[in-house]
């Protein structure tokens, strides 16, 4: 793929990620809905207890679909890596009009470690949630021109 096509693909994916919905299953079952640039739900902020949270996945690296079985195995490995890093975890997902992707919501892991894990699992971006700040998308790819 040439540089122009790569940049166009990166911009398409960035727009998809920014328009996607994200959901975190809170203890007891209710879901906290997240949107990039919107404030996080109070119940999720309360669960964070002042920490930063990150929604990330190991599925479909580089936004290239993998078989469900492989995605489940990758997500289990990510979960083990996050537990090893000392994370508090909740199940989560990202979704759009024609897709849904299993994810994890991790609290208490330094951003540097999150970025390293995102790189290990071939992820383009993660969703960052901080108390009193809008939800934001963080690009984890250094090869996306101009981003």
pLDDT (tens digit, 9 = 90+) per residue, 89-120? 999 999 988 889 999 999 999 999 999 999 99
Q: What pLDDT shows up at residue 16?
A: 84
Q: What pLDDT shows up at residue 1?
A: 60
Indicate if the pLDDT at residue 135 is higher than 60: yes
Q: Give residue 13's pLDDT band: very low, low, confident or very high (50, 70, 90).
A: confident
pLDDT (tens digit, 9 = 90+) per residue, 24-79? 999 998 999 999 999 999 999 999 999 999 999 999 998 899 999 999 999 999 99
Q: What pLDDT shows up at residue 15?
A: 85
**Extents of the domains making up the chain:** 3-139
Beta carbons of 40 and 34 less than 8 angstroms apart: yes
- DSSP secondary structure, the chain, as one string: --HHHHHHHHHHHHHHHHH-EEEEE-TTS-EEEE-TTSPPPHHHHHHHTT--EEEE--SSGGG----HHHHHHHHHHHHHHHHHTT-EEEEEEEEETTEEEEEEEEES--HHHHHHHHHHTT-SEEEEE-TTS--EEEE--TTSTT-
Q: What is the CA radius of gyration of the chain?
A: 15
Indicate if the pLDDT at residue 5 is higher than 70: yes
Strand partners, 21: 95
Indicate if the pLDDT at residue 11 is higher than 60: yes
């Amino acid at each position: 793929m040439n540089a122009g096509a790569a940049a166009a693909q990166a911009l398409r994916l960035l727009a998809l990620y920014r328009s996607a919905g994200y959901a975190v299953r809170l203890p007891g079952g209710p879901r906290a809905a997240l949107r990039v640039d919107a404030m996080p739900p109070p119940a999720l902020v309360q669960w964070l207890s002042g920490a930063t949270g990150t929604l990330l996945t190991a599925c479909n690296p580089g936004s290239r679909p993998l078989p469900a079985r492989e995605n489940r195995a990758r997500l289990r490995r990510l979960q083990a890596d996050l537990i090893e890093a000392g994370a508090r975890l909740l199940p989560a997902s990202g979704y759009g009009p024609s897709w849904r992707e299993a994810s994890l919501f991790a609290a208490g892991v330094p951003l540097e470690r999150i970025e390293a894990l995102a790189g290990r699992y071939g992820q383009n971006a993660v969703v960052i949630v901080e108390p009193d700040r809008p939800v934001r998308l963080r690009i984890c790819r250094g090869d996306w021109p101009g981003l």
